[in-house]
Chain A
Amino acid sequence: MGFPIFDPTVAPEGEGFEWAPRPRSLEGKVIALLDNGKTRSDRLIRAVGELLLREHGVPRLVPYKKPSPYRPAPEELLEAVAKEADLVVTGIGD
């Protein structure tokens, strides 16, 4: 009889992530800027927003900020983003 090996790991539950369909153009799309909240992420995301307005035909930006960079965004915030904008840009500062 052999010596058993027991798996100490825990697999993630639920469905894996899928990318949302990518738009062919940003022309006329309302874009949410979701600030992750880390140091200087506001500057980075503002610069991205200016670029979108100036060069990609984006008519309007909607700013959001996560209450904590270290916790997942609250459901209500994600729902508001989904309702108000066609696309969201987020990222990390530091």
Chain B
Amino acid sequence: MTPTTEVRDALEAIEEYFRRGWTDGLPVVPPTEPSIRAMLEAAGLAPDAVIGEVPARRRRLTAEKVAINAVMAGCLPGYMPVLVAAVEALCDPAFSVHGPAASTSGMGLLTIVHGPIARELGINAGENLFGPGHRANATLGRALRLLLLNGLGAIPGKLDRSVFGHPGKYTYTIAELEEKSPWPPLHAERGLGRETSAVTVFACEAPHQVFNGTARTPEAVLGTVADVMAAGGRLAVGGQEFCVLLGPLHAEVTAGAGWSKADARRFLAERAVRTAADLKRIGRLPDPVEPGDAERIHAAVERPEDILLLVAGGDAGSYSVVMPGWAGREHSQAVTRPVRVRA
């Protein structure tokens, strides 16, 4: 663990990280050897342990580099095991980070923390969960983005060619509101025990908010959500995954009528469709409308299981949120990894 150089004090160090192009545009917490070591110890990792590799970027992410970026982001040592699991997910070939990191569509790295560790670390799953005010949410997501910038070289204007980007590219970490959900949590559906702590990483657009304050049936709630999922201006006309967060009030209406999560997903997959005629009329598909176009269906998702369905958010309003995934399932898909908590 050798410093590159030394400056006079911490304030000068903050400027030095800016000067070298090693920040996300916000000031970083300048790491020290003890703060880096505390990160590594919290995850029980040697500095040179390899957390993941990205062959397309010819890079290997070691525990030391993950720890340095974690300190810079403002993480506490207790967050490190979650960050390590998120980096493992990011480096999984199924996630295929190179595409979403470079794409003109400007994807964020949504990180969903599951199980007991989400509650232990105080990751906000309730009111204003995408908003400011929660250190674990803010700094975990920021650390992952710093690793993309510093660790994988996804530099805006160079590798990262986002036309707009989105605010979630600064930080995009949430948890599921498991205690208020009427259904099994996402990680349990993805083959892990309910009491297992885990992380899901998903490359997706910014949250699209869905409002329906008068819906009293699952069909009304989910019909409105499906309409947002099927918006003609989405990146791909079918084939990708979606993350849908049902707000507690919408979840209550849906589950209150006896609908399971599988019922809800099936309904969304069936309803989130547009016809070719429709997409041509709005101009999203080229060429004039032809006979048969009214029957030609473009589905937002190919299969109900391509919808990551969770309950989260505050219960003072009737909202849900839709986050369309990137490009298509075969190009990048959500990856869930268990968090190894040190005994």
Contact = CB atoms under 8 A, between A and B. Distances in A.
A3 B4 contact: no
B60 interface: yes
A70 B327 contact: yes
Contacts of B146: 8
B68 A5 contact: no
| Interface range, A side | 20 to 34
A9 interface: yes
A8 B13 contact: no
Nearest to A37: B331
Interface stretch (A10-18, A47-55, A56-64, A80-88): A10-18
Contacts of B119: none
B49 interface: no
Of listed A8, A11, A14, A70, residue having the most chain B CB within 10 A: A8
Nearest to B57: A12
A37 B269 CA distance: 27
B99 A71 contact: yes
Given A4-B32, A9-B150, A70-B327, A14 B98 contact: no
B55 A72 contact: yes
Of listed A1, A6, A10, A70, residue having the most chain B CB within 10 A: A6
A34 to B, nearest CB: 17
B85 interface: no
A2 B4 contact: no
B259 interface: no
| Interface range, B side | 35 or more
B68 A6 contact: yes
Contacts of B33: 4
B59 interface: yes
B59 A4 contact: no
B234 to A, nearest CB: 14
Of listed B6, B58, B98, B103, residue having the most chain A CB within 10 A: B58
A94 B55 CA distance: 25
Contacts, number: 93
B36 A6 contact: yes
A5 B31 CA distance: 7
B111 interface: no
Given A2-B8, A10-B65, A10-B151, A70 B98 contact: yes
A5 B3 contact: yes
B295 interface: no
B17 interface: yes
Contacts of B22: 7-9
B120 to A, nearest CB: 27
A87 B17 CA distance: 44
Contacts of B3: 4-6
B2 to A, nearest CB: 8
A3 B58 contact: no
B203 to A, nearest CB: 10
Contacts of B20: 5
Interface string B58-77: 11111001001100100000
16 contacts: A3-B13, A4-B3, A4-B31, A5-B13, A5-B17, A6-B31, A7-B68, A8-B22, A8-B72, A9-B153, A10-B59, A10-B150, A12-B59, A68-B331, A70-B96, A71-B99
Given A3-B10, A13-B59, 11 more contacts: A2-B7, A3-B12, A4-B31, A8-B151, A10-B59, A12-B58, A13-B60, A68-B330, A68-B331, A69-B331, A71-B98
Interface of A: 1-14, 67-72, 94
